[in-house]
Structure 1
Amino acid sequence: MTTLYLFGSAAPPVLEIAGVIQSAQARGWDVCLGLTPTAARWLEAQLPELERLTGHPVRSEYKLPTEPDVWPETHAIMLAPATFNTINEWSLGLTSKFVVGVVAEAIGKEIPTVAMPCVNSAYAQHPQFHWSVEALRSMGVTVLYGEGGFVPNQPGERRPEGYPWHLALDAVEMIVRPSAYDPARGNRTD
């Protein structure tokens, strides 16, 4: 099965992550969920259910050097929602957070990575944000920001249509098509 690392940071759409996991699984992905520490705190009550849903531990911290990896190797990474802080830390190579460290390393490993920010229009006016988005794009990251991706809303407002999760999932599929594997039959279905 094709593995997707689904990473989220602490923006309101992260509260919808269970549905996104189910959508990705319906598309054929084996999903491993990683969260920033604050996002993990927001979802603390749901973490056991999210682990059951994915079949993998939810990670928000680096493992100890002596601990084994608990996730399979990934074929693609999707970081959404990506906050102002997460985008800036990533582009600057500030990797104190697990998910930021993984996506920073993914650039060097050439792992296909899609990011979709979730920032309001006030944050979007900060010049560092635009520099960070452009820097990530220049490093080969698909950043869904602006037309055809996430468009900032006013501070404190939410879009009636919600966060465009489908755009991020579609973008990942355009880069890496998940294998169609039928575990009941033990074979590929495509």
Structure 2
Amino acid sequence: MNRPPAPKGVLYVIVCAAGAAPTAQDLVAAALDEGWEVQVVATPSALGFFDVAAFEELTGRPVKSRYRRPDEPKPPRADAIVVAPATYNTVNKFAQGIADTYALGLLAEAPGLGIPVVVVPFVNAALASRLPFLRGVETLRAEGVRVLLDPANEAWNGSKPWRTALAAVEELGRLRRDDTG
């Protein structure tokens, strides 16, 4: 699919292995409509949770889930990242700086590179109430990551979290530009 150059830049959408993973296609479509070029990155477990071909057709780009080999082209650098749906494991590993997958490697570097990151967790109330998770959310927020926490997952009905996530990433980008410029 040929699209004009993205006026907003490159948005990485990192999809984790959660029940809401197929609905991330709505986030991708909304981001494209708002002028982003989108690169979908999936955790290895997430690949079985959504239609990879549908995401690739929508973005015109291959879904990435592993580090590239030296003979493969580099994907475009992210201007912003939205992690949705973000699992309990991903939130906790991101907060601890664990980079044991391609997706987590990107996330581990993003705050240090000044890349705006928005995380939309999809966890049940029991996991959302655990101290490791709450500490992880606090740690991420302290580093400037926007975590849109909804322990009841009410925001996952329809496309409600997508516009909120996109608005949050735009706001973070504006704040970073104001701080540097």
- Scaled by the length of structure 1, the TM-score of the pair is 0.80
SS at match of 2:20: helix
CA contact (8 A) 2:81 2:116 kept: yes
Q: Which residue of 1 is the match for residue 3 of structure 2? A: none
C-alpha separation between the residues in 1 aligned to 2:144 and 2:108? Answer: 11
Return the match for 2:157 from 152, 158, 161. 161
Same amino acid, percent of matched pairs: 37
Aligned residues: 166
SS at match of 2:12: strand
Return the match for 1:87 from 74, 85, 91. 91
Q: Which residue of 2 is the match for residue 172 of structure 1? A: 169
RMSD (Å), alpha carbons = 1.9
C-alpha separation between the residues in 2 aligned to 1:94 and 1:135? Answer: 13
C-alpha separation between the residues in 2 aligned to 1:164 and 1:53? Answer: 19
> Does residue 152 of structure 1 match 2:151?
yes
C-alpha separation between the residues in 2 aligned to 1:35 and 1:89? Answer: 15
Cα drift, residue 121 of structure 1: 0.6
CA contact (8 A) 1:3 1:74 kept: yes
> What residue identity is the alignment partner of 2:168?
A
Return the match for 1:19 from 13, 26, 30. 26
Moved over 6 A (4+): none
SS at match of 1:100: helix
Bigger helix share: 2
Larger Rg belongs to: 1
- Scaled by the length of structure 2, the TM-score of the pair is 0.84
C-alpha separation between the residues in 2 aligned to 1:20 and 1:116? Answer: 11
Distance 1:160 1:20, change over 3 A: closer
Q: Which residue of 1 is the match for residue 178 of structure 2? A: none
Cα drift, residue 100 of structure 1: 1.0
Q: Which residue of 1 is the match for residue 57 of structure 2? A: 52
C-alpha separation between the residues in 2 aligned to 1:73 and 1:123? Answer: 32
Which consecutive residues of structure 2, in runs of 5 or more, have no partner in the other structure?
1-5, 175-181
Cα drift, residue 62 of structure 1: 1.6
CA contact (8 A) 1:84 1:117 kept: yes
C-alpha separation between the residues in 1 aligned to 2:45 and 2:163? Answer: 24
**Residues 79-121 of structure 1, C-alpha deviation per residue, up to 9 Å, x if partnerless?**
1111100000111111111111101111111111111111111
Which consecutive residues of structure 1, in runs of 5 or more, have no partner in the other structure?
146-150, 178-190
C-alpha separation between the residues in 2 aligned to 1:8 and 1:160? Answer: 14
